[in-house]
Amino acid sequence: MNQDPSASKRRSPLPWVLLVLVVAVIAGVTLYRQYRSPQATANPSQTVGSNHRGVTAKSLSPEEIRALARRSQGTSSQATARNMGEMLEKRKRMAAATQERIQKRNAAMASRFAAEKPDPAWANAHEKDLVSLQDSDPMRDAGAKATSLQADCRSTMCRVQADFPDAGAAANWLQLYMGGVGDSLPVATAHQIVNPDGSVRVEIYGVARKR
């Protein structure tokens, strides 16, 4: 069976055209990828920005960084000074409140002692016990000694008075005495009175026995 030569000539260029189109498409895709890859690498902030709704990080200059540091230090110093001031004021208020409570307690104990009737039999024996604490071993070891020591008891309460050359000697003696008084004065309060010449008197009021 014979073929038409003219028809064969008309159909022969088609495969070549398709081949050229395929090569062109492959080359275009390759060039597009080569173009996009360096651009994405050179601008990483664009990729980061796309993940954060288009917001990109701003670089700060050294001057801006130093200014922020100075501002932060100033704010921190002001906050620290304010906190220190508030803490000192709180301590002053607490100390004043504590001192007020001590003064009220001392006044109440002194008033109770003054109103109490004496019980000579019990009072004399207990007064000797309170004075004898002056000669305890801790007192002798520390060298703490009052220039004068008196004990006065009524029916349930006692008052101890001791004189010292200065506040330091009074504080040392009072700490040792109160530490050793024990059952002799289970409930007691004390305060110091500074005389015009600088000497100090310690007064201790205590409940020595129940009514």
Question: Domain-by-domain residue ranges, the chain?
Answer: 63-115, 118-207
Buried/exposed code over 115-135 (b: 16+ C-beta within 10 A; e: otherwise): eeeeeeeebeebbebbeebbe
Class assignment of domain 118-207?
alpha beta
Q: One digit per residue, pLDDT tens: the chain, 211 residues? A: 444 444 444 555 555 555 556 556 565 656 556 555 444 444 444 433 434 444 444 577 777 777 777 776 666 667 777 787 888 888 888 888 887 888 898 899 999 999 999 999 999 999 999 999 988 888 888 888 899 999 999 999 999 999 999 999 999 999 999 988 888 899 999 999 999 999 999 999 999 998 7
pTM above 0.85, yes or no: no
